[in-house]
Amino acid sequence: MTQTIEPGNPEAPTKPADTGTGRPFAAAAPGSIPAALKRRVPKYADLAPLMQFKKPEFSRAARLRRASTIWDLRDMAKRRTPQAPFDYTDGAAEAEITLRRAREAFLDIEFRPGILRDVSRVDLGTQILGKPSRLPVGIAPTGFTRMMQSEGEYAGSQAAAAAGIPYTLSTMGTASIEDVAAAAPDGRNWFQLYLWTDRDRSLELIERAARAGNDTLMVTVDTAVAGARLRDVRNGMTIPPALTIKTVLDASYRPAWWFNFLTHEPLTFASLSRYTGTVADLINSMFDPTLTFDDLDWLRETWKGKLVVKGIQTVEDARRVVDHGADGVVVSNHGGRQLDRAPIPFHLLPDVSAALKADNSDAAVILDTGIMSGADIIAALALGADFTLIGRAYLYGLMAGGRAGVDRAIEILEKDMLRTMALLGVSRISELTPDHVRILKK
């Protein structure tokens, strides 16, 4: 006969509970202090398992292991990098409103998880522009990268190749197209182009990129003129960095940066061999304010690989560049470095994605600007992005620890994405939908 015991049933049978030692628990007198709460002198046997003193580690590898977020890497980067190159990476245009809003946009969301799904295996793999990527994120084009840390583009391209993701070399990168291709021969390399007024020089870059095996050309179109990057102005940012009294004093706190900079080869650009002058002067000499959609048509005829247009900030322009032959668009405001108070890419993303789908377009929708965590990436994918790009997030890792720091940045983002996907109840990118994210405010 089985007796059912219901909670609160005073007639339920009782007997002393077994302690696991064969002896029942002794019932405590009402109102007495339980034995477990009575104070006693601790025994060494109790303390020994708690004493796990470790030898302090001060190596770069140990410091990078302790970084749990991209923000941790940023803190490390700031300590190790002179102010001018750090601010070039960290800063944005004018009052930096756009960058601040772009980051806040990722914070002002609510994830909506599903429960009771099998997420024992989460797959972050995806397809972008006709080829697989192990993660739904690639490295964005960044200028003057070897000024941030001497390994520069070599570290970025090799880390991307090791992670199985694309790497984009900037026209204003500080390593040549050929050298980057040689440094990461097994990687998927893309090339970012600023169209020059001198079309012959632009054509030369395009041909070099093709010969070096780049399968995607990314043309940036939001740079009619240089943005007012006030941190660079205040820091007197030049290429190469000038040895003024200020920089010499700054160097005293960052000797490793200066040692690496001065003992490696001088900066070599993707698009020219040498340059001496201010960043603003170089940018304005490279950008062409006369660009039109006719130039995009010329590019489409000239470049036989995948063509992506970066700097899309309206739905209308997204549709129009696709009509002119673009295989993909990057919804981006240049990391807040051009027009301050520009549209926020994360907010614009759902409209661009919906519009291109309504047009039955298979153009890839890529997002950058503001990404600082794997959760940011997953939110973007849920709201319609096919892929994402990181700039500052990987540069903080580079400045914190060279190639190993970039590896760590990618590793942090990957762990973030895996955890976020599992907690959302999805096991592959294709399962993400707009229902998984709610934007709280715009």
pLDDT at 304: 94
Which residues are marked as active site? 334
Is 386 or 242 the better-scoring residue by pLDDT? 386
Confidence of residue 40 (pLDDT cuts 50, 70, 90): confident
Side-chain-facing half-sphere of 130: CA atoms under 13 Å: 8
pLDDT at 252: 67
Coil vs helix vs strand at 3: coil
Alpha-carbon span 30 to 41, nearest angstrom: 26
Question: pLDDT tens, 178-211?
Answer: 999 999 999 999 999 998 877 888 899 999 999 9
Question: pLDDT tens, 107-152?
Answer: 999 999 999 999 999 999 999 999 999 999 999 999 889 988 999 9
Share of the chain above pLDDT 70, in %: 85
Q: Is the dihedral of CA 400, 406, 409, 411 positive or negative?
A: negative
Confidence of residue 333 (pLDDT cuts 50, 70, 90): very high
Confidence of residue 441 (pLDDT cuts 50, 70, 90): confident
Residue 355, pLDDT > 90, answer yes
pLDDT at 30: 75
* Domains, the chain: 115-439 (3.20.20.70)
Residue 17, pLDDT > 70, answer no
Q: Is the dihedral of CA 228, 232, 234, 240 positive or negative?
A: negative
Q: Is the dihedral of CA 432, 311, 192, 129 positive or negative?
A: positive
Side-chain-facing half-sphere of 55: CA atoms under 13 Å: 1
Residue 413, pLDDT > 80, answer yes
DSSP state of 297: H
DSSP state of 428: B
Question: pLDDT tens, 212-233?
Answer: 999 999 999 998 888 888 888 8
Is 246 or 401 the better-scoring residue by pLDDT? 401
H-type helices in 327-391, by residue range? 345-358, 374-382
Q: In b/e form, how buried is each residue of 292-303, taking b as 16+ CB within 10 angstroms?
A: eeebbeebbeeb
- Please count the other Cβ atoms lying within 10 Å of the Cβ belonging to residue 147: 25
